[in-house]
Chains A and B, each alone.
Chain A
Amino acid sequence: MAKISVNRKQYEVDADPGTLMLWVLRDEIGLTGTKFGCGIAQCGSCTIHVDGEAKRSCVTPLSSVLGKEITTIEGLSNDLTHPLQKAWIDGDVAQCGYCQSGQIMAAATLLKNNKKPTDADIDQAMAGIICRCGTYNRIKDAIKQAAINGGK
């Protein structure tokens, strides 16, 4: 049994230490907002926060997060009030929506570390997260909007 903290809640997980966090979250804890896209840290759909920093959960073993705080898209806010969620809704960003958990989690780390990101900053921080629907420009606009509205 491994004890982990996800979205400020404690869980006991019966999984091997090498089990990847993406599947711990999805299959063991039942948090399915974090998505499987490539399995090799190339698409970013599985992005979560480990102690506030964006990590690819599809290559992050359970053993590496013990004692750390994990945040998933479900834990970003309880009520859609995070500035990024608001900006995403306001900008009609999502199309199919599948990648957007990863996009938002990556953007949250960007805004935590950089209150006023430039286009180049956003490109650099977000280039790792693939969107096949092509919502990139709306994502960029939403990040800037959230930055103005006090994203963190």
Chain B
Amino acid sequence: MTSKNDLDRRSFLKASIIAGGAAVFGFSLPVGLRAAERLGVTLEPVADFQPNAFIKIAKDGRVTVVVGQAEMGQGVFTSLPQIVADELEVDWANVSYESAPANKAFINPAMGMQGTGGSSSVKGLFAPLRKSAATVREMLVAAAAQGWNVAPETCKAESGKVIHAASGRSAAYGDLLDAAAKVAPPANPKLKDPKDFKYIGKAVKRLDSPEKVNGKAIYGIDVKVPGMLTATILRSPVIGGKVKTVDDAAAKAVKGVTSVISLEYGVAVVAENFSAARKGRSALKVTWDEGAMASVSSESIYTAFASAADKDKGLVAKKTGDVADGKAKAAKTVEAIYWTPFVAHATMEPMTFTADVRKDGAEVWGGVQAQMLVQQTVAATAGVPVDKVKVNTTLLGGGFGRRFEMDYVIDATLLSKAVGKPVKVIWTREDDMQNDVYRPATYNKMSAGIDASGKPIFWHHRVVNDAIMARAGKAFGFILKDDQLDDSSFEGAHNLPYAFPNFQCDWVRKDTGVPVGFWRSVGSSHTAFSTECFLDEVAFAAGKDPVAFRLAMLDKHPRHAAVVKLAAEKAGWGKPAEAGIFRGIAVHESFGSYVAQVAEVSVAKDGKVRVHRVVCAVDCGQVVNPDTVAAQMEGGIVYGLTAALYGEITIKDGRVQQRNFTDQKVLRMNEMPKVEVYIVPSTENHGGVGEPGTPPIAPAVVNAIFAATGKRVRSLPIKTAELAAKA
């Protein structure tokens, strides 16, 4: 937002926000929230620290909230301004947002970096934003009180005004800016009593809807910079392959192609527009050094994982009691292998990034989840100082963890540096599908037992997969050691809430060479499937109802139990469903939120699975915007259901076999279940909502399929052929 009173506003901000911001960020980071911190990763500090400004107030009274988090659908352009509007006492109609640059001031305390992930935006920024807004509010009140020569305590802030009721005077915030700039910021501003919240906890409308329904919203792919060229890159068909020979004569002859640049990992065609770039790319003749991955296939990976599960010791992620002892005492033992494949992110907007690298610095544009990492990556790639890199965060056409990666950022930076002009790199859908960092394929060897009275006595889960941090950590300068646990690979399995007196979760790390990454809800996205389906098997072996069995083991986990009860009650668990429809339940905690889902499913004679209705109960602690919570649960369910029904990336001779939405199907409207979301009222700390909706849906559906067919689906995606004639 621009204002003709820019100077005044700026001096006001300087006075207020430097102090407010410093106070806000002057605490140490909470530990243990995400893998990066759990592993002791620290980020390289940005060379030049600029104090932040969360809040801008214009002379006309409009408030702009500067949002350091990336907007990728989760609603941070609404939920974060909501927090400010409430504590600052301004009307929602006068609040807008803008995207912040990469800057240390915008570090999310819940992540330890300026990053958007781990479902942590509200969790990390609720307190800092409130304090920052309260600081500004008190300065405005002090300024007005000074002018009226009354005590600040006798004034109140309301609807963008300071009011002195006793004398009937009031002053608009916009008229107090100059005076407020001279007020010393309070160190400990008084926060509102939550019972007085006007916006926090309310389903206010999204601020970013208008630009998202009239074509004006700018995503990475929409960036246009003067003199910009557009590039597309032909990459090795084999994972990790390198360029061997290039014949670019035909490509260079294409009208509009300005240059062909050979990179180690691919050949880029740079052109005046995307059409020419793509045409040039298809005219390239490139041979490849295929490298070590050429002998790898999905089958070889499965075989290696199965062997590792049996033979490799692995690392103990958690151990209680003694599972061997429990097994010896078990009256009945259940054993199973659960498998989840590699899965692509498939954001709607393929990877896209624009860079303008100059000798003395760089400016970049795109949808990214980690602005400071982008800044550092661009600086290192372009060979310019970090503080000379300006990062412009556009809207993200979906993130889901994919836009934490730096590959597409490096593409544009290398090419702009090579051609000396701004370059926008656009990945095709095929590039995106075949060069993703996939959810790790995971092999689960599971056993559990019940004693003669039907009580659970042991649980042993061996998780075999890649370590996400072994690759992703490198961007942070982090090397995962062989004897080091990477929670992101097994989270959700080692912290199983159920009371098994003898419990063990082992992690066997097997590096496959297939790039793996953070995929919406990360480890929980697959551990919820293995654990909640296998638990259903144990319940069945014990002859118990799945809900009753879970509740009996959740004495020490009341929040889990509460969402199980709520989802079961709302779904009508225990009462007959419509003819042909069967129910399954699952519960899982991730990112500080507890989610239970009941899926209502039918299985046709041909094995086709139809999910009719999903009842979702969520306890995410205090809520800023209940409609956002509901939307994130709905979205998380669709994301997880798509993976359960269709998500599978297969590898043959080192090549990813899926290319587009034809061979990697995703859920469409005609397959969409009804979704009901129920939020548990809570005063607990904020949990996340972007991810926790995803984990329970696959096991809830698969458990319903068992109810419908008597067949246990232990491998995803669900194979229709295997269910045919079981219904």
Q: Which residues of A pack against B, CB within 8 Å? A: 15-16, 19-20, 23, 26-28, 30-40, 42-43, 45, 72-74, 76-77, 80, 84-85, 88-90, 92-101, 104, 122-124, 126-140
Contact = CB atoms under 8 A, between A and B. Distances in A.
A54 to B, nearest CB: 14
Interface stretch (B345-353, B356-364, B564-572, B596-604): B345-353
Contacts of B215: 31-34, 72-74, 101
A104 B209 CA distance: 13
Contacts of A127: 668-670
Contact of A40 (B399, B634, B660): B660
A70 B335 CA distance: 61
Interface string B597-635: 000000000000000000000000000000100010011
Contacts of B474: none
B214 A80 contact: yes
Contacts of A139: 669
A67 B635 CA distance: 41
A27 to B, nearest CB: 4
A32 B213 contact: no
Contact of A95 (B75, B222, B662): B75
Interface string B454-492: 000000000000000000000000000000000000000
B662 A130 contact: no
Given A33-B216, A76-B214, A88-B213, A137 B348 contact: no
A5 B508 CA distance: 61
B273 A95 contact: no
B172 interface: no
A43 B75 CA distance: 23
A96 B398 contact: yes
A80 B661 contact: no
- Describe A's contact surface by its main secondary structure: loop
B398 A89 contact: no
Contact of B213 (A43, A80, A98, A133): A80
Q: Sort A-B residue pairs by CB-CB distance and give the 7 closest, nearest first.
A: A33-B215, A134-B638, A97-B212, A95-B73, A98-B397, A96-B73, A73-B215
Nearest to A62: B275
A121 to B, nearest CB: 11
A130 B221 contact: no
B639 A88 contact: no
Q: Which of A34, A126, A133 counts the most chain B CB atoms within 10 A?
A: A133
A99 B273 contact: no
A140 B209 CA distance: 17
Contact of B275 (A27, A32, A76, A96): A27
Given A98-B397, A136-B669, A33 B627 contact: no
Nearest to A23: B275
A37 B669 CA distance: 17
Contacts of B399: 96
Contacts of B557: none
- Describe B's contact surface by its main secondary structure: loop
A94 B660 contact: no
Contacts, number: 186
18 contacts: A19-B275, A27-B273, A36-B350, A40-B662, A90-B205, A94-B213, A96-B71, A97-B211, A100-B212, A100-B213, A127-B669, A127-B670, A132-B638, A133-B73, A133-B398, A134-B667, A136-B669, A137-B672
B635 A135 contact: yes
A89 B396 CA distance: 19
Given A27-B274, A85-B214, A132 B347 contact: yes
Interface range for B:
35 or more
A98 B429 CA distance: 14
A100 B400 CA distance: 18
Given A35-B219, A133-B635, 14 more contacts: A23-B273, A32-B222, A33-B214, A35-B348, A35-B349, A40-B661, A43-B429, A74-B214, A88-B212, A95-B74, A96-B347, A97-B213, A132-B638, A135-B631
Contact of A85 (B213, B395, B397): B213
B418 interface: no
Contacts of A140: 669, 672
Contacts of B230: 27
A136 B397 contact: no
A21 B428 CA distance: 16
Contacts of B662: 40, 42
B25 to A, nearest CB: 28
A131 B672 CA distance: 11
A32 B212 contact: no
A56 to B, nearest CB: 12
Contact of B627 (A39, A40, A92, A136): A92
Contact of A32 (B206, B221, B400, B634): B221
Contacts of A45: 348
B208 interface: yes
Contacts of B400: 132
B666 interface: yes
Contacts of A97: 73, 208, 211-213, 217, 395, 397
Nearest to B215: A33
Given A28-B273, A95-B75, A96-B73, A37 B636 contact: no
Q: Which of B214, B217, B672 counts the most chain A CB atoms within 10 A?
A: B214
B675 interface: yes
B426 interface: yes
B234 interface: no
A13 B639 CA distance: 40
Contacts of A80: 210, 213-214
B268 to A, nearest CB: 18
Contacts of A19: 275
Contacts of B255: 16
B75 A96 contact: no
A39 B398 contact: no
Contact of A135 (B211, B224, B634, B661): B634
A73 B214 contact: yes
B668 A137 contact: no
B206 A94 contact: yes
B317 interface: no
Interface in B219-238: 219, 221-222, 224, 230
A23 B275 CA distance: 7
Given A32-B218, A74-B215, A96-B398, A37 B349 contact: yes
A140 B638 CA distance: 15
B727 interface: no
Contact of B669 (A23, A96, A122): A122
B674 interface: yes
Interface in B324-355: 346-350
A98 B218 CA distance: 9
